[in-house]
C-alpha cells in the first residue's frame, strides 16, 4: 500500500479531538481538508494558530496532504490572507481586456498558492473548470470563469501556471461539468438529461487541459448523466472516469472524489460510499465526519483496507505527494513576484495548441459568449 492513504478527512474545530487524533493516525488516511471552522478569525493572529494546528497534525502524520477550498469565491481563511478575486471577476476582466484578464488570472493563482504554502497548506482544490450557468453552487456563487469554454481554458491555464510557479499542484473540478446543472449536489443528486453531443462544451475544458498535461488531480461531480451512464453519478462511474476521463481525455493524474458525505453521493452507508468510490477514484474525500459520523468512519476504515483499490491508485497518490514536496522547496512568498507574467503570455497570449485546436485569436479579441458550437472533435463520447 502507498504510504499516502486513500481517505481525506476534516476536523470539527480549531483544536484536535482525541478521536480525530485516532482518525489521523489510521494508515488509510492520507489527506486533510481544512474549513472555516478550523480558522479562528477572532484571534489577534489566526494565521499563527492555523500553523500550530497544522504542526500538531503533522506530529501525528508527517506526510499527510493538507488541502483547502480557497479559490476566491470560496474563501475559507480571511484575516491574514489576501482576498483573491473570484473566477467570475477574472472572467469579467477578460471581457474588458483579454490581455489584462489573462495576466490577472496568473497573478491570482500564484499569490493564492504562495500564501497557502507559507501557512503550511499543500493544496488549494482549484481551479473550477465548470462553465458559468444556472448552477446554484457554481454560477450563483461566482465560481466559474466564463460561459465560453475556450475562455475558461485560457483563464484556467493562466491560473494553473500561476499556482505551479508557486509550487502548488492543481485540482480541476467538477468533471465533466457542474456549471450547467442547477441543483446543488450537497443537497440532492442532480440529473443532467443532455445528450453526449450537448455535453461537449462542458467536457472541452477538462480534455484540453488534461491533454496539455496541466492537471495534477481532477475532482468528478456527484451528478447523474443518464444518457451517458444511467446508473452511476460521474464520481462513481467507470464510463466517465475510466473510459472518458482517462482514455479519451488522456488524464494521467489523481482522481479525487468530491465529498462522499454529500447528498449527491448517497449510495448507502459510510462504507458503501467509500467502497463504491474506490473503484474509480484514487482519493476518497469524506469530510464533516463529526460526532456519530466520525464513529461510523472509524468503523468503516478497517473494512475498506481489505478491499482492493483501482489499478495504479497508490502510485498516482505518491506522484501527487512528490509534486507537493517539490513545491515546498520553492522560494518564500513574495507578493511582487506573483505579478510576473510568463514571457509566452506577453508575446503570444497562450502556449501550445490543444488537440482539436483552439485559435490564438481568442487572446486577441473577446471570444464569443455562446460556447454551444464548440466541439473537441467529431467523435461522440466513447462509452
Which CA distances in Å does 183 have to 25, 135, 178, 223, 363? 36, 6, 9, 9, 33
Q: What's the pLDDT score for residue 379?
A: 47
Burial letters 320-352, b for 16+ CB under 10 A, else e: bbebbeebeeeeebeeeebeeebeebeeebbee
Place 372 in a pLDDT band, splitting at 50, 70 and 90: very low
pLDDT of residue 326 exceeding 90, the answer is no
pLDDT of residue 350 exceeding 60, the answer is no
Instruction: Answer for the pair 107, 91: CB distance below 8 angstroms, yes or no.
Output: no
Residue among 258, 282, 288, 290 flagged as catalytic: 258
Task: Return mean pLDDT, the chain.
Answer: 85
H/E element holding 301? Answer: helix 292-305
H/E element holding 172? Answer: strand 171-175
pLDDT digits (tens, 9 = 90+) for 85-95: 999 999 999 99
On whether residue 114 sits in a domain, the answer given is: yes
Residue-range definition of the domain harbouring residue 177? 7-349
On whether residue 147 sits in a domain, the answer given is: yes
On whether residue 364 sits in a domain, the answer given is: no
pLDDT digits (tens, 9 = 90+) for 298-318: 999 999 999 889 989 999 999
pTM over 0.95, yes/no: no
Q: What's the pLDDT score for residue 342?
A: 47
On whether residue 143 sits in a domain, the answer given is: yes
Instruction: Answer for the pair 186, 264: CB distance below 8 angstroms, yes or no.
Output: yes
pLDDT digits (tens, 9 = 90+) for 52-66: 999 999 999 999 999
Q: Which three cell numbers stand for residue 222?
A: 456527484
Q: What's the pLDDT score for residue 1?
A: 44
Instruction: Answer for the pair 123, 66: CB distance below 8 angstroms, yes or no.
Output: yes
Q: How far apart are CA 15 and CA 33, in angstroms?
A: 14
Q: How far apart are CA 81 and CA 112, in angstroms?
A: 9
Q: What's the pLDDT score for residue 361?
A: 33
CATH number reported for the structural domain that contains residue 254 in this entry:
3.20.20.300
pLDDT of residue 358 exceeding 80, the answer is no
How many residues are recorded in the chain? 383
Looking at the 3D structure of the chain, how many domains does it have?
1
On whether residue 204 sits in a domain, the answer given is: yes
pLDDT of residue 319 exceeding 50, the answer is yes
pLDDT of residue 265 exceeding 90, the answer is no
pLDDT digits (tens, 9 = 90+) for 189-206: 889 999 999 999 999 999
Residue among 95, 186, 266, 288 flagged as catalytic: 186
Burial letters 204-230, b for 16+ CB under 10 A, else e: bbbbbbbbbebbbbbbbbbbbbebbbe
On whether residue 74 sits in a domain, the answer given is: yes
Lowest mean pLDDT segment, chosen from 61-70, 144-153, 316-325, 359-368: 359-368
Q: How far apart are CA 214 and CA 218, in angstroms?
A: 11
Q: What's the pLDDT score for residue 376?
A: 42
Q: Is 258 among the residues known to form the active site?
A: yes
Q: How many helices (H) and strands (E) does the chain have?
A: 11, 8
On whether residue 2 sits in a domain, the answer given is: no
On whether residue 355 sits in a domain, the answer given is: no
Amino acid at each position: 500500500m502507498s504510504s499516502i492513504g486513500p481517505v481525506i478527512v476534516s476536523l470539527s474545530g480549531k483544536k484536535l479531538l482525541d478521536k480525530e487524533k485516532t482518525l489521523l493516525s489510521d494508515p488509510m488516511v492520507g489527506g486533510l481538508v481544512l474549513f472555516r471552522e478550523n480558522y479562528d478569525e477572532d484571534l489577534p493572529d489566526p494565521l499563527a494558530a492555523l500553523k500550530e494546528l497544522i504542526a500538531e497534525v503533522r506530529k501525528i502524520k508527517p506526510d499527510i496532504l493538507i488541502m483547502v477550498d480557497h479559490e476566491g469565491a470560496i474563501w475559507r481563511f480571511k484575516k491574514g490572507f489576501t482576498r483573491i478575486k473570484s473566477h467570475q471577476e477574472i472572467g469579467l476582466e477578460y471581457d474588458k481586456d483579454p490581455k489584462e484578464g489573462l495576466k490577472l488570472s496568473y497573478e491570482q493563482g500564484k499569490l493564492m498558492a504562495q500564501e497557502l504554502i507559507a501557512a503550511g497548506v499543500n493544496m488549494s482544490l482549484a481551479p473550477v473548470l465548470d462553465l458559468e450557468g444556472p448552477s446554484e453552487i457554481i454560477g450563483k456563487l461566482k465560481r466559474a470563469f466564463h460561459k465560453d469554454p475556450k475562455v475558461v481554458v485560457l483563464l484556467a491555464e493562466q491560473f494553473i501556471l500561476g499556482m505551479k510557479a508557486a509550487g502548488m499542484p492543481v485540482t480541476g473540478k467538477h468533471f465533466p461539468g457542474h456549471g450547467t446543472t442547477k441543483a446543488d449536489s450537497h443537497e440532492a443528486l442532480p440529473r443532467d438529461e443532455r445528450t453526449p453531443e450537448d455535453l461537449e462544451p462542458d467536457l472541452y475544458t477538462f480534455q484540453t487541459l488534461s491533454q496539455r498535461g496541466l492537471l495534477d488531480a481532477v475532482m468528478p461531480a456527484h451528478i447523474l448523466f443518464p444518457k451517458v451512464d444511467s446508473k452511476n453519478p460521474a464520481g462513481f462511474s467507470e464510463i466517465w472516469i475510466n473510459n472518458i476521463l482517462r482514455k479519451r481525455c488522456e488524464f494521467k493524474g489523481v482522481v479525487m472524489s468530491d465529498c462522499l458525505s454529500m447528498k449527491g453521493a448517497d449510495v448507502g452507508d459510510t462504507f458503501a460510499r467509500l467502497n463504491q468510490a474506490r473503484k474509480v477514484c484514487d482519493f476518497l474525500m469524506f469530510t464533516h465526519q463529526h460526532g456519530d459520523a466520525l464513529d461510523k468512519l472509524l468503523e468503516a476504515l478497517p473494512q475498506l483496507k481489505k478491499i482492493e483499490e483501482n489499478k495504479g491508485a497508490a502510485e498516482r497518490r505518491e506522484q501527487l505527494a512528490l509534486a507537493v514536496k517539490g513545491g515546498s522547496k520553492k522560494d518564500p512568498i513574495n507578493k511582487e513576484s506573483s505579478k510576473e507574467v510568463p514571457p509566452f503570455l506577453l508575446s503570444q497570449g497562450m502556449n501550445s495548441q490543444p488537440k482539436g485546436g483552439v485559435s490564438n485569436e481568442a487572446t486577441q479579441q473577446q471570444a464569443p459568449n455562446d460556447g454551444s458550437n464548440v466541439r473537441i472533435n467529431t467523435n461522440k463520447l466513447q462509452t
